[in-house]
Structure 1
């Protein structure tokens, strides 16, 4: 049924449940597994001379963190005998990067975690998962 499954990761414990689910689904369906970690761009400001961290140092740190996140997913997949293609991208909005990546890679299922916020917290904080759900036509499986 599914040929390509994308599981975005932010490295959180909650995302680990989505990763486990995506790995199991990929195994059951004989699907290709992809993972993605989105890096934040450098927060440039008008007063660039007083930035606490130089841009390249910030970007290098972001790349190290993102790479570690996708390597963790790839290792979990490999432990169960499944290959995983890992990608990192820089984007202002993670939800847009996830949708764009899913389209570019011709993914037919996105597996994401939900933090389970309700009420005012959900309204004020929103979520990348919610934004992916409302802006994509691809199937999205939400893991709580």
Structure 2
């Protein structure tokens, strides 16, 4: 059935629950998993770009630390469950597009991810990376709620 599962994570509690569920599935199927964290580049507008140098550098450090923490959760859980794994961090403006691209590049046959359950105005304004992946992916997507 599925042999290579992509696990995008943002490090949230919901993502960690999805990772755990997907790793359980991978163990059952004998599949490999690829953990993925997408870091968005800093976005800021100012009159003086010099003001942003420290902020941008700090943002990158914090974003990379968050990515490392999120991916280490996958590493630790996969090791504990005896599931073959690898991880990747990418930088992209559109996380959904990066998720689909990494899945294609790594020849994953399933994307397993969390839904953050945004509804109403928040869902309309912020959108959902999961919804965008569902809409644009030709690879099957398993959504954990």
* Same fold? TM cut 0.5: yes
Name the residue aligned to 1:55. 56
3-state secondary structure, aligned to 1:92: coil
Name the residue aligned to 1:5. 5
- Is 1:19 paired with 2:8? no
Moved over 6 A (4+): none
- What do you get for the CA RMSD once the two structures are aligned? 1.6
2:41–2:92 CA contact under 8 A, matched in 1: yes
Q: Distance in 2 between matches of 1:38 and 1:66?
A: 8
Name the residue aligned to 1:43. 43
- Tell me how far 1:21 sits from its aligned partner: 1.2
Q: Distance in 2 between matches of 1:80 and 1:58?
A: 33
Q: Is there any run of 5+ residues in structure 1 with no aligned partner, and where?
A: none
- Is 1:31 paired with 2:31? yes
Do the aligned partners of residues 118 and 62 (structure 1) sit closer, same or farther apart at CA in structure 2, a change above 3 Å counting? Answer: closer
Do the aligned partners of residues 44 and 121 (structure 1) sit closer, same or farther apart at CA in structure 2, a change above 3 Å counting? Answer: closer
Count the aligned residue pairs: 144
Q: Distance in 1 between matches of 2:98 and 2:36?
A: 9
- Tell me how far 1:107 sits from its aligned partner: 0.4
Do the aligned partners of residues 56 and 7 (structure 1) sit closer, same or farther apart at CA in structure 2, a change above 3 Å counting? Answer: same
3-state secondary structure, aligned to 2:54: coil
TM-score, length of structure 2 as denominator length: 0.91
Q: Distance in 2 between matches of 1:124 and 1:48?
A: 28
Q: Is there any run of 5+ residues in structure 2 with no aligned partner, and where?
A: none
3-state secondary structure, aligned to 1:51: helix
2:35–2:88 CA contact under 8 A, matched in 1: yes
Q: Distance in 1 between matches of 2:44 and 2:15?
A: 29
1:74–1:83 CA contact under 8 A, matched in 2: no
Name the residue aligned to 1:130. 131
Q: Distance in 2 between matches of 1:101 and 1:93?
A: 12
